[in-house]
A = this chain, B = another copy of it.
């Protein structure tokens, strides 16, 4: 499989390049990044890249015969790259975030799949398989418990709280409740609060979120469900940016066989 990487000079892009280079079943044929145009890719990623130079031009993808492009870039750049790929018949695996509903509709039209003479596209906000499973399991478990709270723990350099993944997890729990008619969790019975300034808050369906920020931590999330006499805890620990790579490789391997636009890694996992 001939792979091009868009946003090759970013943190995720460089990790994708290293991953593709390391796998015998994948071939890295193009690295795109206007900010590093002309750079030696090997220098950028710290491993041998067969002499590949970073390019600033989209037609480097067609010139190199890329079959699939992995895009971890910025929103504006990604819009152009994906329009180009759709035209050129190149499948796309997209981790860039910020797409609007209109963007996704547009992508659906462009990447209409082989039956429409077009390539396919997989867009996902989170490529960590464990995080995607956690969210799905939380949604499935939600109707069967009397309460749920989320504790997410990150390094102290993280500036927002709660984390985006925690927010989405709370929404998924609410969706799981709604789908079975089980509604919001019972309201909080706390009547005395001795302190204020807590990090976190109350999210959808009454789910409480707690944000821990400590030096040394990486990215961790725990969902705790409670019912009479028991609790169920689902925890995802991400120790390294490499945790996203299994999901990216999975998407590269499946994109040719998944007609049209797929939104969310969970569909590749058969969840």
Any chain B CB within 8 A of the CB of A181?
Answer: no
- A130 near B232 (CB under 8 angstroms)? yes
Please give, as numbers and ranges, the residues of chain B lying within 8 Å of A180 by CB-CB distance.
270
Complex alpha-carbon distance, A227 and B128, angstroms:
10
Least Cβ–Cβ distance between A194 and chain B, in angstroms? 6
Any chain B CB within 8 A of the CB of A97?
Answer: no
- A233 near B234 (CB under 8 angstroms)? yes
Q: How many residues of A contact B (CB 8 A)?
A: 81
- A133 near B189 (CB under 8 angstroms)? no
Please give, as numbers and ranges, the residues of chain B lying within 8 Å of A190 by CB-CB distance.
158-161, 199, 211, 213
Any chain B CB within 8 A of the CB of A149?
Answer: yes
Any chain B CB within 8 A of the CB of A99?
Answer: no
Any chain B CB within 8 A of the CB of A112?
Answer: no
- B208 near A149 (CB under 8 angstroms)? no
Closest to A179 in B: B270
User: A245: which of B134, B226, B228, B246 is its contact (CB, 8 Å)?
Assistant: B228
Q: Is chain A's binding surface mostly helix, strand, loop or mixed?
A: mixed
- A225 near B195 (CB under 8 angstroms)? no
> Known contacts being A156-B147, A157-B189, A160-B194, is A226 close to B214, with CB within 8 Å?
yes
Please give, as numbers and ranges, the residues of chain B lying within 8 Å of A42 by CB-CB distance.
none
Please give, as numbers and ranges, the residues of chain B lying within 8 Å of A270 by CB-CB distance.
180
Complex alpha-carbon distance, A99 and B168, angstroms:
43
- A239 near B243 (CB under 8 angstroms)? no
Complex alpha-carbon distance, A146 and B218, angstroms:
15
The 9 residue pairs across chains A and B that have the minimum distance between CB atoms: A195-B201, A214-B226, A229-B243, A198-B198, A229-B240, A229-B242, A230-B243, A198-B200, A160-B192
Map CB proximity to B onto A125-151 as digits: 1 under 8 Å, 0 otherwise. 000111101101100110011111101
- A210 near B213 (CB under 8 angstroms)? no
Map CB proximity to B onto A190-206 as digits: 1 under 8 Å, 0 otherwise. 11111111111111000
Any chain B CB within 8 A of the CB of A237?
Answer: yes
Complex alpha-carbon distance, A210 and B196, angstroms:
10
Least Cβ–Cβ distance between A222 and chain B, in angstroms? 9
- A133 near B129 (CB under 8 angstroms)? no
Please give, as numbers and ranges, the residues of chain B lying within 8 Å of A202 by CB-CB distance.
195-198
Complex alpha-carbon distance, A160 and B237, angstroms:
24
Complex alpha-carbon distance, A159 and B193, angstroms:
9
Closest to A149 in B: B212
Given contacts A151-B210, A227-B243, 8 further A-B contacts (CB under 8 A): A128-B230, A133-B140, A147-B213, A148-B214, A157-B189, A190-B211, A214-B224, A233-B233
